[in-house]
Amino acid sequence: MSEVRIFLSGCMGRMGRVITDMVAESEDAVIVAGSDVVMNPASAFPIYADPNECKEEFDVIIDFSHVSALAAIMKLAETRNKPLVMCTTGLSEEQKADLKALSNKVGVFYSGNMSLGINVLIKLVRQAAAQLYPDFDIELVEEHHNKKLDAPSGTAIMIADAMNEEVDHQLEYVYERQSKRQKREKKEIGIHSIRGGNIVGEHKVMFIGGEEILTISHSAQTRSVFARGAVAAAKYMAGKEAGMYDMQTMLG
């Protein structure tokens, strides 16, 4: 397939506009249509208020919109029998179950973080946890902008969960230590949140031994890293069969 044709849900949002600009510079992908509650008469491709009114042919859907649009986007994927790259965050457990059910019919790509670098970090900390725990203590620090509502970040939990899975779920998540006066237990993984300024996203995992410290970290300089991951996932998913896919699947 020489050029992947993309339907972009949420095309007028902040991430949608970043993806649009990124694909415009790509030689092997094109956005043929999109959907949003906001219209743009100057758009280079048609924008639909209802995605299911789309008349254009496409190979894959990227959804970077809002949870309220999920039902319509899932219907589009099922009706047109095309894979879906789900980038929208904040899905409920019920909506995640709906995505899983959809994956029995079409390919569904879903990841808690669309950054390629973060997902490579997850592969690395898995290996480190398997080799170093329980001889090394594990601490995780995440930093985000001062407008972020949740703490710890979903990505921090995703990183912790990956390490915990690697060590047969032996780790106990500790979010604060001031309420109890006792020494650190070996099974603990400390998860710490920093909020300030315009930090896009910083995640650092420390493996702390008696004589050495291994630190694995990732810094998102701009939100474009999430758009780049979404476009890479769309190219990967084009033509894929039904099933659930994620960044770890794509990275092998």
Query: How confident is the model over 205-220, as pLDDT tens digits?
Result: 999 999 999 999 999 9
**How many Cβ atoms sit within 10 Å of the Cβ of residue 246?**
14
Give yes or no for a contact between 61 and 7, defined as CB atoms under 8 angstroms apart. yes
Q: Is the pLDDT of residue 138 over 80?
A: yes
Q: Is the pLDDT of residue 109 over 70?
A: yes
pLDDT value of position 251: 86
First CA to last CA distance, the chain: 21
Q: Is the pLDDT of residue 1 over 60?
A: no
Q: What is the mean pLDDT of residues 220-240?
A: 94
Choose which CATH entry (3.90.105.10, 3.30.465.10, 3.40.50.720, 3.40.109.10) describes domain 4-114+224-251.
3.40.50.720
pLDDT value of position 10: 96
Domain boundaries, the chain: 4-114+224-251, 116-220
Quick one: tokens of 13? 């949002």
Rg over alpha carbons for the chain, rounded to the nearest Å, is 20
Q: What is the mean pLDDT of residues 23-46?
A: 94
- For residue 119, the number of C-alpha atoms closer than 13 Å in the C-beta half-sphere is 21
Catalytic site positions: 144, 148
Residues with Cβ within 8 Å of residue 150, at least 6 apart in sequence: none
What CATH number was assigned to the domain covering residues 116-220?
3.30.360.10
Quick one: tokens of 143? 């930093």
* More confident of the two residues 35 and 2: 35
Shortest CA distance to 201 belongs to which of 65, 108, 89?
A: 89
- Burial class from Cβ neighbours inside 10 Å (0-12, 13-18, 19+) for residue 92 reads exposed
pLDDT (tens digit per residue) in 163-200: 999 999 999 999 988 888 899 999 999 999 999 999 99
pLDDT (tens digit per residue) in 80-98: 999 999 998 878 899 999 9
Amino acid at site 96: K
- Burial class from Cβ neighbours inside 10 Å (0-12, 13-18, 19+) for residue 163 reads buried
